[in-house]
Amino acid sequence: MISNHTMMLNEALEDKLNQNETVELILVDVFEALKTKGYNPINQVVGYLISGDPAYISSYQGARNKIQQIERDEILEVLLEKFVETRK
């Protein structure tokens, strides 16, 4: 049966979408900063994700500070979700 009530997006889902957008924006900024400085962004971010050592990320344009604002597991989760989405 169709309801006449307005449906609302679950707040937890909305928070998750906002978190994913934040992670994506930060990663784009970090990748651009690394690329501009002549680094291979994929190698550098993988090094950071595996080791947890922020020295893998250049401080250029605040990239190191930006990536440290989010947990590494959150980054991995967003990357994996994006990978799975592209496989559909």
pLDDT confidence of residue 20: 85
Counted domains in the chain: 1
Cα radius of gyration rounded to whole Å, the chain: 17
Per-position DSSP letters for 11-62, written without gaps between them: HHHHHHHHHHHHHHHHHHHHHHHHHHTT--HHHHHHHHHHH--GGGS--GGG
Domain-embedded: residue 7: no
pLDDT average, residue stretch 12-30: 82
Domain-embedded: residue 5: no
Domain-embedded: residue 74: yes
Question: d(Cα 84, Cα 88) in Å, to the nearest integer?
Answer: 7
Structural domain boundaries, residue 57: 13-87
Tokens of 55: 């020295």
Domain-embedded: residue 1: no
Domain-embedded: residue 80: yes
Domain-embedded: residue 3: no
pLDDT average, residue stretch 12-16: 62
pLDDT confidence of residue 12: 59
pLDDT tens-digit series, residues 37-88: 999 999 999 999 999 999 999 999 999 999 999 999 999 999 999 999 998 7
List C-alpha distances in Å: 16 to 8, 20, 26, 86. 15, 6, 15, 19
